[in-house]
Amino acid sequence: MRIEIPREVERFGPIMFHDVQKVYELDAGLKHARNESKPKEKSVIRRLSYESLQEIQEQMCIIVPIRNEKIKLIEGVLCGIPHHCQVIIVSNSDRAPIDRYHIEKDALEHVCKFMKKNVIIVHQKDPKLREACEKSGYKFLLNEEGEIKNGKAEGMILSTFLAFLSGKKYIGFIDSDNYFPGAVHEYVQEYCAGFHTSKSDYSMVRIAWHSKPKIVESNLFFAKRGRVSEHTNKILNALISSFTGYGTEIIKTGNAGEHAMTMDLAINLDYSSGYSIEPYHYINMLERFGGILDNPIPAVLKQGIEIFQIESRNPHLHEVKGEEHVESMSMEAMEVIYRSPLCSPSLKQEILEDIYHRGLLAEGKKIQETLTYYPAIVNANLKVFQDVIKNEPYAELLQVDLSNYKHSKASGLQRDLVKGKKINLPESTPKLEAK
């Protein structure tokens, strides 16, 4: 891959937000390619050889969350994931009246034989996984009936436990409703490119897709970013600006469903439910490591956190799920920013005006609290989790050696730890541009 270096870097305490990076060549050859003029390449474009990307793939788990998707669609997604990655499928498909999960598992195991792919498939409601959550001290994922809750975010958190137990260093997420296997392949390569250039054990790569194809008046139109993203990004940038005092547009991937993290970062972040999980990554990183609230992890302060945003070349095309879906997604993103202890009263006012203006909430109404927060998974005893599931058929590759593992005392949610503490919030917020 040939990729430009980030043009701008915005710093917030130890966190480095890198500007969007453009890809110039999807495949730039092997390590020892001829005709490479090295000195020139040092400047603004980096060439990442196939081998360097493969090295990262070998240490990466790719999580594919599924809920009642077409099997043909999932098959395409699996086909696009580079061979060396460990794939983990967490499905929440129906078990009754038709056992869709059973059909799905059968079909996927069959195609994986042809792909020679090692895939771990689990169901979100698996009783052993439920028991593992309970016994390891992570009941947060369970509902009143004691089952693991529905939801993509909950599936992602559950799969983060499994990815940790696989012993891999990186975890990446790929939605199962992507129509282009080529896009899936590209996203994973871009995750690898980010991690290859990162200097920190705490880093994250987010995909900023280049375009989304739509049919407009019977012509194909390639729309740039989605409407939801535009608003989420604007408010996230306003939040950063309110502390730094400088306007910024650095965040362009507030809602990036396609993202990857180092395992060290993934197990140390708090999560939130629904479609707020992705914007909450940013919020929680700022809350946890931004230096305004306490609880820094010394290694993070030393190494810093690096966030990469990479613009993909393939168009992004997934299942269309309707206008209502888009609105609730946007509201959830707004709620999670609004409820952050870092959100100043003036930014709260800005958020309200923005959602009134867009008709997402009736004028004068308050934002309802609809989201749940989940503490970082280091709060669970991961060794106990492993012990509970160790004899399950899917756990064969989840046997990382934890004999030296020490469970530190659970500390709970960052946002609860700072309750009642005095936080110096900025008095004014740069005015958002009216849309």
Positions that interact with Co ion (CB under 5 A)? 177, 318
Query: Around Cβ 235, how many Cβ atoms within 10 Å?
Result: 23
CB of 151 to ligand GDP, least distance (A): 5
Sign of CA dihedral 248, 254, 258, 263: positive
The residue among 241 and 273 lying less far from ligand GDP, judged by its C-beta, is 273
Question: Does residue 20 interact with ligand GDP by CB under 6 A?
Answer: no
Give the one residue of 75, 177, 311, 332 binding ligand GDP; rule: CB under 6 A. 177
Q: Which amino acid is at 376?
A: A
CB of 209 to Co ion, least distance (A): 12
Applying CB under 6 A, what is the total number of residues that bind ligand GDP?
A: 19
Q: Contact region for ligand GDP (CB under 6 A) — 131-139, 175-183, 360-368, 396-404?
A: 175-183
Question: Does residue 155 interact with ligand GDP by CB under 6 A?
Answer: yes
Question: Does residue 294 interact with ligand GDP by CB under 6 A?
Answer: no
Question: Does residue 257 interact with ligand GDP by CB under 6 A?
Answer: yes
CA angle 382, 386, 391 (to 5 degrees): 170
- The interaxial angle of helices 323-338 and 345-357, nearest 10 deg, is 170
Residue 375 near which of Co ion, ligand GDP, none (CB within 5-8 Å, type-dependent): none
Give the one residue of 36, 94, 99, 319 binding ligand GDP; rule: CB under 6 A. 319
Q: Contact region for ligand GDP (CB under 6 A) — 36-44, 317-325, 349-357, 384-392?
A: 317-325
With CB atoms as reference, the residue minimizing the distance to Co ion is: 318
Question: Does residue 312 interact with ligand GDP by CB under 6 A?
Answer: no
Q: For residues 33-92, which are near ligand GDP according to CB under 6 A?
A: 65-67, 69, 90-92
Q: How far is CA 163 from CA 86, 89, 219, 262, in A?
A: 9, 11, 42, 11
Q: How far is CA 382 from CA 152, 188, 329, 401, in A?
A: 21, 27, 31, 11
Q: Return phi, psi of residue 340, to 5°.
A: -70, 140
CA distance 66 to 71: 10
Question: Does residue 252 interact with ligand GDP by CB under 6 A?
Answer: no
CA distance 422 to 139: 30
Q: Contact region for ligand GDP (CB under 6 A) — 54-62, 146-154, 307-315, 342-350?
A: 146-154
Q: Contact region for ligand GDP (CB under 6 A) — 169-177, 210-218, 378-386, 421-429?
A: 169-177
Q: Which residues pair with 89 in a beta bridge?
A: 64, 121
> What one-character DSSP code corresponds to residue 370?
-
Contact (CB, 8 A) for 56 and 196:
yes
Query: Around Cβ 11, how many Cβ atoms within 10 Å?
Result: 11
CB of 357 to ligand GDP, least distance (A): 23
Query: For binding to ligand GDP (CB under 6 A), which residues are involved?
Result: 65-67, 69, 90-92, 124, 150-152, 155, 175-177, 257, 318-319, 321
